[in-house]
């Protein structure tokens, strides 16, 4: 598909566009996709700002999105991003903003969460902007790096901070269980979403949040399921 940069709610946003038609495209609707050549021609005609690659269950491609890790003026890269790019050693491009990278590789996305901080991994129901601004030190092909991929996922995405609560804190929490619970009703969006991801049905929430509708008969049913989850968390943690 293609994409067009627009301003929404005061922020620049990349809107997916159907090549040739110019209408809104969806990462879950193949009817809005086209061949690379068609998408490229549409961009070259000045009707879109760039090309995007859609990840599906039918292809072996996994994308690693590294945000806010590169200085667009100097080209300096932070240590974590450099480590990930070097270890994955697969086709890598600079993002349209110049402040991040997109790495493409062949393989399977490991089980568990798919993002933490500025590192995100996707293999279905998502599209990546593809700039063609290739990082010279990386291969020009999409490689299979199973061991490195699993290690990166484990170290940068899956692992969480150990529980540092003291025994006194735990006893105090237990004593309070019978009392009226209190919650912070002024959580920021990121904090609220993190609570939803960490819940017992967090895997379901994350799949829906990323646009994965594979478990539902229609897009509408998946949208409704996501809305119900969001309604629950916003009612609990928002006034």
Tens-level pLDDT at each residue, the chain (239 residues): 999 998 877 788 889 999 999 899 999 999 999 999 999 999 999 999 999 999 999 999 999 999 999 999 999 999 999 999 999 999 999 999 999 999 999 999 998 889 999 999 999 999 999 999 999 999 999 999 999 999 999 999 987 543 434 444 444 444 444 333 444 445 678 777 887 888 767 777 887 887 776 656 567 777 777 887 787 777 655 54
Residue 149, Cβ neighbours under 10 Å: how many? 24
Measured in whole angstroms, how far is the alpha carbon of residue 210 from the centre of its chain? 7
pTM beyond 0.75: the answer is no
Q: Of 114, 102, 127, 131, whose CA–CA distance to 30 is shortest?
A: 127
Question: What residue ranges do the domains of the chain occupy?
Answer: 1-55, 56-160, 184-237
**Which residue reads 């928002």 in tokens?**
238
10 Å Cβ neighbour count for 75?
9
Give the tokens for residue 66.
């590294």
* Torsion-angle region of 159 (φ positive above 0: left; ψ -120 to 50: alpha; else: beta): beta
Instruction: List the structure tokens of 86.
Output: 């070097």
Of 123, 125, 126, give the one whose Cα is nearest residue 109: 123
């Amino acid at each position: 598909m293609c994409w067009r940069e627009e301003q929404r709610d005061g922020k620049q946003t990349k809107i997916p566009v159907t090549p040739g038609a110019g209408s809104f495209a969806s990462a879950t609707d193949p009817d809005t996709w086209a061949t690379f050549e068609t998408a490229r021609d549409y961009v070259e005609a000045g009707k879109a700002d760039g090309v995007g690659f859609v990840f599906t269950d039918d292809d072996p491609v996994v994308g690693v999105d590294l945000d806010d890790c590169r200085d667009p003026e100097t080209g300096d890269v932070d240590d974590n991003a450099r480590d990930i790019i070097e270890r994955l050693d697969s086709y890598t491009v600079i993002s349209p903003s110049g402040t991040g990278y997109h790495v493409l590789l062949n393989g399977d996305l490991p089980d568990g969460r798919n993002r933490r901080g500025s590192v995100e991994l996707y293999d279905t129901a998502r599209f990546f902007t593809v700039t063609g601004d290739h990082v010279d030190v990386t291969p020009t092909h999409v490689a299979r790096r199973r061991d490195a991929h699993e290690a990166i996922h484990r170290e940068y995405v899956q692992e969480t901070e150990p529980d540092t609560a003291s025994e006194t804190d735990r006893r105090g929490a237990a004593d309070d269980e019978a009392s009226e619970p209190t919650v912070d009703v002024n959580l920021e969006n990121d904090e609220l979403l993190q609570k939803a991801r960490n819940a017992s049905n967090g895997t379901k929430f994350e799949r829906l949040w990323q646009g994965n509708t594979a478990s539902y008969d229609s897009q509408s049913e998946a949208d409704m399921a996501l809305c119900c989850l969001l309604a629950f968390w916003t009612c609990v943690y928002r006034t």
